[in-house]
Chains A and B, each alone.
Chain A
Amino acid sequence: MTMSVEVEALRKSFDRRNVLVDVDLHIPPGEILAVIGPNGAGKTTLLRIVDFLLRPDAGAVRYDGRDGPADPEARLALRRRISMVAQNPRLFRGSVFYSVSYGLCVRGVEPPELPIRTLQALEAVGLVDRLHARTSDLSAGEAQRVAFARAVVFRPDLLLLDEFAANLDPANARILEAAVLEYNRSTGTTVILVTHDMFQAKRLANRVALLYEGRIIESGSVIEFFDEPGDPRTRAFVRGELAY
């Protein structure tokens, strides 16, 4: 299963500071879109609105062409098709098994399916041997990989990645990037990746958009965006010259 996402004229401000200004984006089903931009550009706010953690001041997000439903049951059903990995994820206290299987438990998945799918998710990030470890004993890299396994274990149709490998060493980052590509390839899940790492965007995305001072400056295929940027701000960002 997969999902299309349309963001239309999205606006959000905090304390009179405009964080998102008329943001428009269309993400077709199965695409990996990288939203890049400097710190404070509004990337995380955009993801949090898409994932119902924030309400926009204006504009709309459409999922498969439909607005987010007002009915709580329907909204919960939609929320359960979406997952997110944060930059500094919070794992639950207890075992890795509990943390990873959480999303299955809240969806009513029971044994024998529950442990099988939990193991599969951990296998994808190379951490089957840490199944019974306590989350407090994990290294930062392992914790981030567990958080990724937890986010995909219930097979979301839309996966939101918020600087998901920003704090990792290259080896752990590569494991996670490989897991993202494999997950997208095998399930067709739509992925919105927020990062300020241009190299990661090149490695993972089909399309890239630059978000700068709350506005989408430019978007295009990876080749168009990095090799033939149309906007001077995109050129400056790609060259590492855009003032943060």
Chain B
Amino acid sequence: MAGDIVDITLLSLYVSSTSTLVATAVAVPVGIALGLREIGSQRLLKNILFTLYGLPPVLAGLLVFLLVSRGGPLGPLGLLFTPLGMVIAQVVVVTPIILGITMSVVSTVESRLKETAFVLGADAHQLRVTVMREATAGILTAVMVGFGRAISEVGAVFIVGRHIEGQTQVLTTTIITDIEQAAYGHAIAVGIILLVIAGLVYSLLYRLQERTLQ
């Protein structure tokens, strides 16, 4: 049982951190470009983004399920009921969140700061880097929120992973199945593990954030 919990915890960490990393790699550059208004059709993109922002995880799970199921376009890759499939589902859920917060943070970096960098001779790339540096704390917040959503997410990973013993069990889906089986003590223990992991990751990111604010 203890070994199971360790495996479940490690898989939870793997799925959540991998999906957060992938989502960050995609969302942060696009969010910066949107925040700096470097991409055209801003209104359309923002409307799409805000719609995705509120995308219910179960719907994201359903979409990814249809995508990776045997008859779906990615069916031949055999991603259904695998940790990688769960990562894809969480990327779909987390990316709009990180993107939206990054965009807001960058667009609120004072225009005076952008002007200052321009006046001091920054080219377009250097301007982007300067804005990013000023917005680092906010971007870290976006990543923190994204990770929080990923580690606590249950609907999408349940649909795509199906909570197969020894293969696709993660902490949140374990709590659901524990409750179904009236194993409340076990559910609470798993919940505490989830809470501790979230606390540790947040305190690490919080320290990073504090350092960037100095």
List residues of A whose CB falls within 8 A of some B CB: 51-53, 76, 79-80, 82-84, 86, 89-90, 92-94, 102-103, 106-107, 134, 150-151, 154
B200 interface residue per 8 A CB criterion: no
Q: Tell me which residues across on chain B come within 8 A of A134, comparing CB atoms.
A: 214
- Known A-B contacts A90-B112, A92-B113; A53 and B214 likewise in contact (beta carbons under 8 Å): no
Report B108-149 CB contacts with A as 1/0, cut-off 8 Å.
001011011111111100100010011000000000000000
- Known A-B contacts A53-B115, A106-B126, A134-B214; A93 and B134 likewise in contact (beta carbons under 8 Å): yes
Residue of B nearest to A105 (CB): B126
Instruction: Find A76's partner among B112, B117, B123 (CB 8 Å cutoff).
Output: B123
Q: Is the CB of A83 within 8 A of B113?
A: no
Q: Is the CB of A51 within 8 A of B119?
A: yes
Q: Is the CB of B119 within 8 A of A102?
A: no
Q: How far is the CB of B210 from chain A (nearest CB, A)?
A: 13
Q: Is the CB of B113 within 8 A of A90?
A: yes
Q: Is the CB of A92 within 8 A of B130?
A: yes
Report B81-122 CB contacts with A as 1/0, cut-off 8 Å.
000000000000000000000000000001011011111111
B213 interface residue per 8 A CB criterion: yes
Q: Is the CB of A106 within 8 A of B213?
A: no
Q: Tell me which residues across on chain B come within 8 A of A154, comparing CB atoms.
A: 120-121
7 A-B pairs with C-beta separation under 8 A: A52-B118, A76-B121, A82-B119, A89-B116, A90-B112, A93-B134, A107-B121
The CA-CA distance from A134 to B212 in the complex, in Å, is 12
Q: Tell me which residues across on chain B come within 8 A of A102, comparing CB atoms.
A: 117, 120, 130
Q: Is the CB of B213 within 8 A of A80?
A: no
Residue of B nearest to A150 (CB): B120
Q: How far is the CB of B199 from chain A (nearest CB, A)?
A: 28
Q: Is the interface of B mostly helix, strand, loop or mixed?
A: helix
Interface size on B, residues (CB 8 A): 18
Q: How far is the CB of A7 from chain B (nearest CB, A)?
A: 18
Report B29-61 CB contacts with A as 1/0, cut-off 8 Å.
000000000000000000000000000000000
Residue of B nearest to A76 (CB): B123
Q: How far is the CB of B105 from chain A (nearest CB, A)?
A: 13
The CA-CA distance from A83 to B116 in the complex, in Å, is 10
The CA-CA distance from A52 to B121 in the complex, in Å, is 11
Most chain A beta carbons < 10 A, residue from B110, B112, B121, B123: B121
Q: How far is the CB of B3 from chain A (nearest CB, A)?
A: 47
Q: How far is the CB of A223 from chain B (nearest CB, A)?
A: 33
Complex A-B, nearest 5 residue pairs according to Cβ-Cβ distance, in ascending order = A80-B121, A103-B120, A90-B112, A106-B122, A106-B126
Q: Is the CB of A83 within 8 A of B119?
A: yes
Residue of B nearest to A151 (CB): B120
- Known A-B contacts A53-B115, A106-B126; A92 and B121 likewise in contact (beta carbons under 8 Å): no
The CA-CA distance from A92 to B117 in the complex, in Å, is 9
The CA-CA distance from A90 to B111 in the complex, in Å, is 10
Q: Tell me which residues across on chain A come within 8 A of B116, comparing CB atoms.
A: 86, 89-90, 92
The CA-CA distance from A76 to B118 in the complex, in Å, is 10
Q: How far is the CB of A212 from chain B (nearest CB, A)?
A: 26
Q: Is the CB of A90 within 8 A of B120?
A: no
The CA-CA distance from A107 to B120 in the complex, in Å, is 9
Residue of A nearest to B119 (CB): A84
Q: How far is the CB of A155 from chain B (nearest CB, A)?
A: 12
Q: Is the CB of A103 within 8 A of B112?
A: no
Starting from the known contacts A76-B123, A92-B133, 16 additional A-B residue pairs (CB-CB under 8 Å) come to A52-B118, A53-B115, A76-B121, A79-B118, A79-B121, A80-B121, A84-B119, A86-B112, A90-B113, A90-B116, A92-B130, A92-B134, A93-B134, A94-B214, A106-B117, A154-B121
The CA-CA distance from A151 to B116 in the complex, in Å, is 10
Q: How far is the CB of B143 from chain A (nearest CB, A)?
A: 19
Residue of B nearest to A153 (CB): B120
Q: Tell me which residues across on chain A come within 8 A of B130, comparing CB atoms.
A: 92, 102
Most chain B beta carbons < 10 A, residue from A53, A90, A107, A154: A90
Q: How far is the CB of A93 from chain B (nearest CB, A)?
A: 6
Q: Tell me which residues across on chain B come within 8 A of A76, comparing CB atoms.
A: 121, 123
- Known A-B contacts A92-B134, A93-B213, A134-B214; A106 and B121 likewise in contact (beta carbons under 8 Å): yes
